[in-house]
Chain A
Amino acid sequence: MTNRNKQLVTGNEAAVLGALAGGAEAMFGYPITPATEILQGWINKAQTDKSLHFLQTEDETSAGFAVCGALLNGTKAFTASAGPGHVLMQDPVSMAENIRLPFVGIMMQRGGPSTGTVNFSQQEVNLAAFGGNGDGLRIVYSASTVQEMYDLSIKIFNTAWKYMFPTFLLGDGYLGKMESEINLTKSVNPVHSKKLLREQKIPTHLKNCYSSEEELAEILKQNIYDWNKHKNVIAESDKYRTGDASEIIVAHGLVASAAKEAVDLMRKQNRKIGLFRAITVHPLDTTALSVLAKKVKKIHLIESSQNQFSRIVKYELYGETTEIVEHSKPAEGFSPSEIVDLVQD
C-alpha cells in the first residue's frame, strides 16, 4: 500500500485512474448504479486538477451528446453508464457512429431488460456492439479483472482516437464494486486527438442526414471498409491452458475469470480443458478462435445473458464443425464450481 505503483481499488476507481492515464480530459455523465462511482471519482479528481472538465447532465442522452460536443473540438471525452442509461446512450452513440466520433463509454452491466437489477449481468453486449440504428461499427472490450478495468480504460481512448469508432469497455456491477490490488505501471503513448470541426478558413460542415439512399450508402461503405480493414489488428483475446486442450470454454468479462478458475479445477482432475477469453467482444478475435476451434472437439459458451455473446461467436465460427454447447444464465453470475458442474457431461 505504500508502493506508489500499486493501489487497492474497486473496479470503478480503477476505471477513473485508467481514463486519466489514457488521456481523458472531460467526462459527462448521469448517476446510475453500478457506474455512479466513476462519475463521482472523476469529479473528485477534477476538484484538484483544474484542467479536467466534467458535468453531471440532466440525463444520459444529454451526457452522451455533450461528449459528442466535446469530441468535435478534439477533447478526449467519455461517459460511463449502465442498463437503462446505456439504452439512452444509443441516441448519441448512433450519431457518433455515423460521423466517426471517437466516443468512449465505460458500461457497467446490470440485469436487464428495463430497470432489472443494479448488480450484474452480461446483457449489454448487444447494446454496446449493435445498439442504435446502425450496423454495429463500434469496438467493444470486456474487462475480466479489476486490473483490466484499469488497463482497458487506458486502451479504449487510444483505440477510439486511432480508428475513430465509438469504443466501449464493458464491465459489470461486481467488477465495479470489488476491490483488488492493481499495478499502475502501464506506460501509455497517447494517440493525438484531432478536431473534427477543423477550425480552418474553409468551414467544416458536418451532417448525418442524407437526401438519398445512395448518399448514405457511400458513407457507410467507407465506414464499413475502415472497420473491416482494422478489425484483425484491433481484435484481442487471451488463451489459457489451451495448448493440449480437447475442449475449451469461450467466455468474456468476469465470467471468464470464474471460468479460468474452473479450468484450473478441472485440470486438477486431468481434464484437458482450456479457456479462450475474448478481450474484444466485437470485433471478436476470430483468427485465434477459429484456429482453436479446429483443434478441439467441443466448445462451451458461457455467459450471463441469453446468447448475446454466443450469437457473435457462432456467427464468426460459421463453417466450423466443432460442437458448441451454450450455457446461458441471463442476469446471474457463475461461480467456478458451478462452471465445473455445467461443463461436466
Chain B
Amino acid sequence: MPKSWYAESKPHYFCPGCGHGVTLKQLGYAIDDMNIQEDVVFGIDIGCSLLAWNFLACDTIQTHHGRTTPVMVGYKMTKPSKVALAYMGDGGGYAIGLQSLLHAAFRNNPVTVILVNNENYAMTGGQMAPTTELGVATTTSPNGKTIEFGPGFKGPETVRSIASKDAFIARASVSNPLLLRNILKEAMETQTEKNNFSFIEVLSICPTNWKTSAEDSLKRVKEMEKYYPVGKI
C-alpha cells in the first residue's frame, strides 16, 4: 500500500469494491511520488468521504457537508506552504457545496479539489444526485430520473467556464487507475508549483447502492465515461 496510507486504519471502512478505495490508493501513490506526505492537509466532506477521516498518514479534517472547499481555502491562505486537498463526493461538491467550489475556482484559490462522482448520495442509502443521469432509478427517483430534475450535471465543464485559464481541471475514472494517478499529480503540481486552482472529478463506482457486481460496476462506469468524458477539461 502507499507509504502515505495510514496502516493502522486498514482494513478501511469503505464498502467492498468502493471507488473511494481506488481513488485514495492512486492519491496515496501520487503523494508518495511527489514526496509531499508531510505537507498535505486532507480535508474531507460528510457522506462516504468521511470514512477517510483516518485513512491517510496526513493531517486530516472532516468538515461539514459541502464545506470542505472553504475550509481548505481558509487554511491554505494562511499557511501557503501546505498542500491543501479538498476531498468530497458528488453531493457535497455539486449540490450543497457547489457555490463554494465555483467561487474557489473563480478566485483561483490554490487548493486542489478532488470530487468522487458515483452518481448518488451513497452514505444515506442511494438518493438522486446532481450527477445522476436521466432514467437512472435511485431511492428518490424510483421511476428513473426525469428531466425536471436536470440531466446529469457536468461539473468540470461548469467550473471551467468560470475558472482562471491557469486552473487545471480534469475528469478521471477509476477504470483507468494509472491515468487517474497522473491526473491527480498534475492537479497537485498545479497547486505546489504554479499556485493555481485545480479540480479533478473522478468517475467512480458504488456496488452497494448500484446493486451491481464487480463486472457490472465497471461496465457502468465505462458507460458513464460516454456522457462524462475523461481527460483535461
A91 and B64 form a contact (CB under 8 A): yes
Whether B82 lies near A206 (C-beta < 8 A) is: no
User: Which of B14-22, B72-80, B173-181 lines the interface with chain A?
Assistant: B72-80
B44-97 residues with Cβ-Cβ distance < 8 A to A are: 46, 50, 53-54, 56-64, 67, 70-79, 82
> Which of A59, A65, A208 has the most chain B CB within a 10 Å cutoff?
A65
A199 touching B59 by the CB < 8 A rule? yes
Query: Does B75 lie within 8 Å of A91, measured CB to CB?
Result: no
* B60:A206 contact, CB within 8 angstroms: yes
CB B59 to nearest CB in A, in angstroms, measures 4
B74 touches A77 (CB 8 A): yes
Tell me if A's interface is mostly helix, strand, loop or mixed. mixed
Asked if B59 contacts A69 (CB within 8 A), the reply is no
Give chain A residues whose Cβ lies under 8 Å from the Cβ of B56. 203
Q: Majority SS of interface residues in chain B?
A: mixed
Interface contact B75-A208, CB-CB below 8 Å = no
A206 in contact with B61 (CB, 8 Å): yes
Q: Is A68 a contact of B74 with CB atoms below 8 Å?
A: yes
**Considering residues B56, B59, B62, B72, which has the most beta carbons from chain A within 10 angstroms of its beta carbon?**
B59
B213 within 8 Å of A (CB atoms): no
Chain A, interface size: which category?
35 or more
> Does B158 belong to the interface (CB within 8 Å)?
no
Q: Which of B46, B64, B78 has the most CB of A within 10 A?
A: B78
- A66, A70, A199, most chain B CB atoms within 10 A: A66
Contact call A70/B75, Cβ cutoff below 8 A: yes
State whether the Cβ of A1 lies closer than 8 Å to any Cβ in chain B: no
Q: Is A67 an interface residue (CB 8 A)?
A: yes
CB-CB < 8 A to B60: which residues of A?
197, 203-207
Bound together, the chains give a CA A19 to CA B60 distance in angstroms of: 29
Q: A77 to B46, alpha carbons, bound, how many Å?
A: 24
Contact flags A59-103 to B (C-beta < 8 A → 1, else 0): 101110111111011010100000000000001101100000000
- Enumerate chain A residues within 8 angstroms of B160, measured Cβ to Cβ: none
Q: Which of B73, B74, B103 has the most CB of A within 10 A?
A: B74
The reply to whether the CB of A57 lies closer than 8 angstroms to some CB of chain B is yes
Nearest-Cβ distance from residue A251 to partner chain B, whole angstroms:
35
Cross-interface CB contact of A55 among B53, B59, B73, cutoff 8 Å:
B73
Assembly CA distance A199 to B61 (angstroms): 12
Report B137-165 residues with CB < 8 Å from chain A CB. none
Q: Given A207-B50, A207-B53, are A66 and B59 neighbors across the interface (CB < 8 Å)?
A: no
Query: B99 within 8 Å of A by Cβ?
Result: yes
CB contacts (< 8 Å) of B75 on chain A: these are: 69-70, 72-73
**A-contacting residues, B1-57, CB 8 Å:** 6, 38, 41, 43, 46, 50, 53-54, 56-57
Query: Could you give, for residues 217-252 of chain A, a 1 whenever the CB lies within 8 Å of some chain B CB and a 0 otherwise?
Result: 000000000000000000000000000000000000
Bound Cα distance A26, B46 (Å): 26
Closest-CB distance, B66 to chain A (whole angstroms): 9
A153 CA / B97 CA spacing, docked (Å): 31
**C-alpha spacing A77/B76, complex, angstroms:** 13
The listed residue (A58, A94, A204) touching B100 by CB distance below 8 A is A58
CB pair A203 B78 closer than 8 Å:
no
Shortest CB–CB separation between residue B108 and chain A, in angstroms? 12
CB nearest neighbor in B for A99: B61
Compute how far the CA of A73 lies from the CA of B62 in the bound complex, rounded to whole angstroms: 15
Contact of A72 among B6, B38, B61 (CB under 8 A): B61
Asked if A25 is an interface residue, CB under 8 A from chain B, the answer is: yes
Is A329 part of the binding interface, using a Cβ–Cβ cutoff of 8 Å?
Answer: no
Given contacts A203-B57, A203-B59, contact A77 B78 (CB under 8 A): yes
Q: What's the minimum C-beta distance from B9 to chain A, rounded to whole angstroms? A: 8
In the complex, the answer to whether B70 meets A70 with C-beta atoms within 8 Å is no
Residues of A within 8 A of B46 (CB): 209
- Least CB distance from B120 to A in Å reads 20
Nearest Cβ on chain B to A127's Cβ, whole angstroms: 17
- When the two chains form their complex, are residues A73 and B78 in contact, meaning their CB atoms are under 8 A apart? yes
Given the interface pairs A58-B103, A203-B59, A203-B60, the reply to whether A68 lies near B71 with Cβ below 8 Å is yes
Those of A27-63 within 8 Å (CB) of chain B? 28, 53, 55, 57-59, 61-63
Contact of A198 with B by CB under 8 A:
yes
**Are B77 and A70 in contact (CB-based, < 8 A)?**
yes
CB pair A59–B99 under 8 Å, yes or no, is yes
- Closest Cβ of chain B: how far from A199's Cβ, in Å? 6
CA distance A339 to B139 in the complex (A): 59
A59 to B97, CA, bound (A): 12
What's the least CB distance linking A172 to chain B, in Å? 27
Judge whether A209 and B71 touch: CB under 8 Å.
no
Complexed CA–CA distance, A67 and B99 (Å): 17
B174 to chain A, nearest CB (A): 24
Complex Cα distance, B104 from A66, in Å, reads 11
- Check A25–B58 contact: CB distance below 8 A: no
Binding site for B on A (CB under 8 A): 25-26, 28, 53, 55, 57-59, 61-63, 65-70, 72-73, 75, 77, 91-92, 94-95, 197-199, 201, 203-209
A-B contact pairs, 18 of them (CB 8 A): A53-B78, A58-B102, A62-B99, A65-B70, A67-B74, A69-B61, A69-B73, A70-B74, A72-B61, A73-B78, A75-B79, A91-B64, A95-B63, A197-B59, A198-B59, A199-B38, A205-B59, A208-B62
Which 8 residue pairs across A and B have the least CB separation, nearest first?
A69-B74, A66-B74, A69-B75, A197-B59, A62-B70, A69-B71, A75-B78, A58-B103
